[in-house]
């Protein structure tokens, strides 16, 4: 039995083959085995909350109120963040937000504009 790659969307280990497609039973994501192989060989793919691929320099919008640790402020839903930089750490986005300065965000809380 060969080990199938985890789901690229939710990282579930319970993927299965359906013809030429790989399917995730937890989130319903479907992808081809060739796409999975290309993803493993290439750089990490960053996706926003709706699944759109993000790149350095994109503009995103915050999709929910985010409480800031330490300063006690809140980044409000709908705040635009310009010129993001994608990094490989616990928070995927480094950026500057007007009124708050430099900070890190997770891709799951933003949507590409």
Structure tokens at 11: 């990282």
Per-residue model confidence (pLDDT) at position 37: 53
Examine domains 1-37 and 59-112 and report if their fold is the same. Answer: no
Count Cβ neighbours within 10 Å for each residue of 25-38 and write b for 16 or more, e otherwise.
Answer: eeeebebeeeebee
At 36 the three-state DSSP class reads helix
* Structural domain spans, the chain: 1-37, 59-112
pTM above 0.85, yes or no: no
Q: Are 15 and 30 in contact (CB under 8 A)?
A: no
Report d(CA 93, CA 82) in Å as an integer: 11
State which CATH number among 3.40.50.300, 2.20.25.10, 3.20.20.70, 2.102.10.10 fits the domain covering 1-37. 2.20.25.10
User: In terms of CATH architecture, what is 59-112?
Assistant: Roll (2.30)
Report d(CA 111, CA 61) in Å as an integer: 5
pLDDT tens for each residue of the chain, 113 residues long? 457 888 888 888 888 888 888 888 888 888 876 655 555 555 688 899 988 889 999 999 999 999 988 777 899 999 999 999 999 888 999 999 988 889 999 999 999 99
Structure tokens at 108: 């799951």
Q: Are 66 and 75 in contact (CB under 8 A)?
A: yes
Per-residue model confidence (pLDDT) at position 8: 81
Per-residue model confidence (pLDDT) at position 112: 93
Report d(CA 113, CA 79) in Å as an integer: 11
């Amino acid at each position: 039995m060969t080990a199938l790659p985890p789901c690229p969307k939710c990282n579930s280990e319970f993927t299965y083959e359906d013809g030429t497609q790989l399917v995730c039973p937890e989130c319903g994501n479907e992808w081809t085995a060739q796409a999975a192989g290309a993803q493993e060989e290439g750089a990490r793919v960053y996706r926003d909350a709706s699944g759109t691929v993000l790149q350095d320099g994109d503009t995103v919008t915050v999709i929910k109120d985010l409480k800031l640790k330490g300063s006690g402020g809140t980044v409000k839903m709908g705040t635009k963040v310009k010129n993001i930089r994608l990094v490989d750490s616990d928070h995927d986005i480094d950026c500057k937000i007007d009124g708050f300065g430099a900070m890190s965000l997770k891709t799951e809380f933003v949507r590409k504009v």
